[in-house]
Amino acid sequence: MDKFKIIGKSRIAGEVVISGSKNAALPLLAAMLLPSDETVLHNVPTLKDTDTLIKLIAGMGVAIKKEGNTVIADARHVANYYAPYELVRTMRASILVLGALLGRFGEAEVSLPGGCSIGSRPVDQHLKAFEAMGATILVENGYVKAKAPAGGRLMGCDFAFDMVTVGGTENVIMAASLARGTTRLENCACEPEVVDLANMLVAMGAKIDGIGTPTMIIEGVESLHGCEYSVIADRIETGSYLAGALMSEGDVLTTNTSAELLHPVLKKFEAMGATITTGDDWIRAVMKGRPKAVDIRTQVHPGFPTDMQAQLMAVCCLADGTSTIIENIFENRFMHVPELNRMGANIRIDGHTAIVTGVESFMPAPVMATDLRASMSLVMAAACADGESIIDRIYHIDRGYDNVESKLKSLGVNIERIKG
């Protein structure tokens, strides 16, 4: 198992080009199953998760290849509608092929998904919506087996999600795009990644109103056609590198990104004392002195994103004062706290609340990455510690950060991968 060796104490500064969004690319890749001709998708990050989904789609008979950051797929000769456990178990987003397969072919057999152990993320909302559209759903031996009603097409319906679900919204709008009739969805997720998928579906010929709002109306069409589309910038990667500037009195310029995707995070950075400047496709964070303590409450979009909670907590560990962080999205997303405390942080957990009392500096230590986003918080902490730290189980970071070592080195981090 690979590890990172990081020698601090670094001032994190420089320019870094942001890759395409992992959380947007995965549903867009799944959507390439929908048309019966060629689709071209640009700005696809090179990650374990995107590689896994490409393998999954190829196993269904799709002619798919990745050339640099571009994926070309031709789904006219899909041979099966099966997503095996061996691939699906490694990441949760694999469940998104369920909506695409059920919408286009009227049937699917998809393993229940795996991924990070950050809390319960059930797929019951996905399945309830498909049943409302007339599908027969059977969960058996760890697999979801779904069939459309007689005639092979789902039926439009009115459906309200019991809770806001990004994956559920994405799965259902893919299926509804090819359903018979009109589907009205209430309590939809409004995240930029959901908007990106809806925009790509429209480019394929789907008819969707209310994109970016809690209510979406999808008028089903007979078929979708291929298109050429580009994945939005990764807002979480952007925020992660900018956070490094706040932790190290640094100066980080992120390019090929958008401030429109990151408003709640940038506001917190400013509240902590950073100078934030932005342009059409860049964001710069400059930090002088120690960060100020802030309170953070994770919420669904447009609130503060849960995927930035661990990185902001690492900044709060070095802040002047006491910060309060409330995690409202996942019940098990404080697993990085013991690891940060091993590095000298002062964090106390009370249920879904973390009370973070700032310390002067991190101390080097051997630590273990516990999930995708937490792994970056440990990397940044190690970069700011005075000495050598070893970070184990970095396969988590490989799932979500494209070309991470090279980018960190360009920002002045002394990092080396130790092959397991």
Cα–Cα distance for residue pair 131/146, rounded to 1 Å: 9
The predicted pLDDT at position 132 comes to: 98
Residue 13 sits at φ, ψ, to 5 deg, of -155, 150
Q: Report whether 325 contacts 294 (CB < 8 A).
A: no
* CB count in 10 Å sphere of residue 6: 25
From the list 116, 190, 316, 317, the catalytic residue is 116
Cα–Cα distance for residue pair 402/118, rounded to 1 Å: 21
Same domain flag for 306 and 213: no
Same domain flag for 143 and 248: no
Q: Report whether 300 contacts 365 (CB < 8 A).
A: no
Judged by DSSP in three states, 85 sits in helix
DSSP state of 259: G
Q: Report whether 321 contacts 346 (CB < 8 A).
A: no
The predicted pLDDT at position 114 comes to: 56
DSSP E strands, 236-302: 251-255, 275-278, 282-286, 295-297
The predicted pLDDT at position 330 comes to: 74
Cα–Cα distance for residue pair 266/274, rounded to 1 Å: 9
Please enumerate in sequence order all residues whose Cβ is within 8 A of that of 76, keeping only pairs 6 or more positions apart, or say none: 36, 37
Same domain flag for 239 and 148: no
Q: What is the residue-averaged pLDDT of the chain? A: 94
Mean pLDDT of all residues in 272-279: 98
Same domain flag for 47 and 117: yes
Say whether 227 is catalytic.
Answer: no
Same domain flag for 261 and 370: yes
Domain around 406: 3-19+233-418
Length of the chain: 420
Cα–Cα distance for residue pair 72/65, rounded to 1 Å: 6
Same domain flag for 226 and 242: no
Strand partners, 160: 186
Angle at 32 between CA 29 and CA 33, to 5 degrees: 115
pLDDT single digits (tens) 211-258: 999 999 999 999 999 999 999 999 999 999 999 999 999 999 999 999
Same domain flag for 45 and 168: yes
Which of 167, 146, 148, 165 has the alpha carbon at shortest distance from 156?
A: 148
* Structural domains counted in the chain: 2
Which CATH number fits the domain that encloses residue 386? 3.65.10.10
Strand partners, 229: 41
pLDDT at residue 116 above 70?
no
Same domain flag for 64 and 141: yes
Q: Cis omega before residue 9 (within 30°)?
A: yes
* CB count in 10 Å sphere of residue 215: 12
The predicted pLDDT at position 119 comes to: 40
Strand partners, 389: 6
- The last residue of one of the domains, among 214, 230, 246, is 230
Cα–Cα distance for residue pair 40/225, rounded to 1 Å: 11
Do β-strands 107-111 and 282-286 pair in parallel, antiparallel, or remain unpaired? unpaired
Q: Model confidence at 370, in pLDDT bands (50, 70, 90)?
A: confident
- The last residue of one of the domains, among 230, 250, 273, is 230
Looking at residue 127, its amino acid is L
The predicted pLDDT at position 123 comes to: 86
pLDDT single digits (tens) 19-73: 999 999 999 999 999 999 999 999 999 999 999 999 999 999 999 999 999 999 9
- The last residue of one of the domains, among 180, 205, 230, is 230
Angle at 295 between CA 301 and CA 258, to 5 degrees: 40
- What is the side-by-side strand order in the sheet with 107-111? 82-83, 107-111, 143-147, 136-140
Q: Model confidence at 141, in pLDDT bands (50, 70, 90)?
A: confident
Q: Cis omega before residue 27 (within 30°)?
A: no
Which of 4, 12, 85 has the alpha carbon at shortest distance from 314?
A: 12
Place of tokens 């290849």: 65
Same domain flag for 145 and 258: no
The predicted pLDDT at position 210 comes to: 98
Angle at 102 between CA 80 and CA 230, to 5 degrees: 90
Mean pLDDT of all residues in 334-355: 96
Q: Tell me how far apart the terminal alpha carbons of the chain are, to the nearest angstrom.
A: 4
The token duo for 388 is 């050598």
Looking at residue 18, its amino acid is I
pLDDT single digits (tens) 151-183: 899 999 999 999 999 999 999 999 999 999 999
pLDDT single digits (tens) 285-301: 999 999 999 999 999 99
pLDDT single digits (tens) 297-344: 999 999 999 999 999 999 999 999 999 999 998 767 798 999 999 999
pLDDT at residue 201 above 50?
yes
Same domain flag for 254 and 317: yes
The token duo for 275 is 């100078």
The region, left, alpha or beta by phi > 0 then psi within -120 to 50, assigned to residue 293 is beta
Same domain flag for 158 and 11: no
The predicted pLDDT at position 372 comes to: 81
